[in-house]
């Protein structure tokens, strides 16, 4: 079962099975070349992604993606692929200079709500983003923040990535390794290991923001930070409860990410937050139903 408050698994049998799996796969993790996968491991890595890519593509924008389990990922793989995949769950973060604290594996949350967003780019036609899911309070505060930004500077930001469970986080890490020369050590500077991501932590929910110019996680940080949206966020995001997670020279070892913000409920008075949920649901234009 999943504890609704902690978002962690508390079934004793599942916990024991998980611990045994980690012990078994620790040898696999130790055998990984963290600087660059061996040729054999690269071949295995790509065979796994060839199976997982279409599965994930079919789930994007669906509530099912928020509750994707590691078991479902493993069920589509053979035994050698499963062993290899489990190895990534037991990598010692210190071995790759990753200092983000462990927050636990996450498998969905009953309080997530859909965020449907129609992007109005500065150039080109409007389009719909894949539906993102956020805790209700976070969604409401984001909507109010984007609405206020539009009033102030005539622009909005959009959530390109919201809640991600640990199974999806593992997939993203594997997929991102292809862009970073199959190096675990390099990839952790840009994508957190499963169990360490703020995207899978509703109590400190992370959001990756897209600007109306199309700046996102693939935009060079120096260019992203010059956008009017980012400049506004640095001055105003905190009063809506959002904080930049990875500034320059972050002690976590993660590279500078001007698009990555997380929510801290303590920054928002309770009465303000409760009012925001009602107000934002009624007034924010991007909450309109997607056709």
The token pair that represents 194 in the structure block: 């499963």
* Per-residue pLDDT, 276: 54
* Per-residue pLDDT, 286: 43
**Quick count: other Cβ atoms within 10 Å of Cβ 84?**
23
Record the pTM: 0.82
Q: Is 248 in a helix, a strand, or coil? A: coil
Give the count of domains, the chain.
Answer: 1
d(CA 263, CA 261): 7
Say if CB 169 and CB 261 are below 8 A apart. Answer: no
List the beta bridge partners of residue 133. Answer: 114
Q: What is the mean pLDDT of each run of 10 residues along the chain (291 residues)?
A: 38 43 44 94 98 96 92 95 93 92 87 95 95 97 98 98 97 98 97 95 97 97 98 99 97 95 94 54 45 42
d(CA 194, CA 29): 14
d(CA 238, CA 64): 31
Domain that holds residue 259: 1-291
* Per-residue pLDDT, 288: 42
* Per-residue pLDDT, 270: 72
* Per-residue pLDDT, 13: 43
CA dihedral 224, 226, 229, 233 (to 10 degrees): 90
Question: What CATH number corresponds to the domain at position 129?
Answer: 3.30.1380.10
Residue whose token pair is 């099912």: 64
Backbone angles phi, psi at 254, to 5 degrees: -85, 140
Q: If residue 54 lies in a helix (H) or strand (E), which one and from where to where?
A: helix 39-59
d(CA 198, CA 260): 10
Say if CB 280 and CB 183 are below 8 A apart. Answer: no
């Amino acid at each position: 079962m999943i504890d609704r408050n902690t978002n962690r698994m508390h079934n004793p049998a599942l916990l024991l099975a998980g611990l045994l799996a980690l012990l078994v796969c620790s040898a696999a993790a130790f055998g990984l070349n963290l600087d660059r996968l061996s040729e054999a491991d690269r071949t295995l890595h790509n065979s796994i992604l060839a199976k997982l890519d279409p599965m994930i593509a079919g789930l994007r924008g669906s509530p099912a993606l928020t509750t994707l389990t590691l078991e479902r990922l493993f069920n589509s793989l053979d035994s050698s692929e499963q062993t290899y995949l489990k190895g990534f769950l037991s990598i010692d973060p210190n071995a790759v200079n990753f200092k983000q604290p462990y927050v636990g594996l996450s498998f969905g949350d009953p309080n997530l709500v859909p965020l449907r967003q129609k992007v109005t780019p500065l150039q080109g036609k409007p389009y719909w983003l894949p539906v993102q899911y956020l805790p209700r309070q976070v969604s409401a505060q984001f909507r109010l923040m984007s609405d206020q930004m539009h009033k102030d500077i005539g622009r909005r930001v959009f959530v390109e990535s919201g809640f991600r469970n640990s199974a999806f986080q593992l997939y993203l890490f594997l997929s991102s390794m292809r862009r970073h020369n199959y190096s675990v050590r390099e990839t952790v500077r840009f994508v957190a290991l499963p169990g360490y991501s703020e995207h899978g932590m509703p109590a400190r929910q992370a959001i990756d923001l897209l600007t109306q110019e199309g700046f996102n996680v693939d935009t060079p940080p120096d260019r992203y930070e010059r956008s009017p949206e980012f400049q506004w966020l640095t001055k105003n995001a905190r009063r809506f409860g959002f904080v930049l997670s990875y500034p320059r020279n972050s002690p976590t070892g993660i590279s500078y990410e001007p698009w990555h913000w997380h929510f801290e409920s303590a920054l928002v008075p309770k009465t303000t937050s409760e009012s925001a949920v009602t107000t934002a649901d009624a007034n924010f234009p991007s909450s309109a139903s997607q056709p």
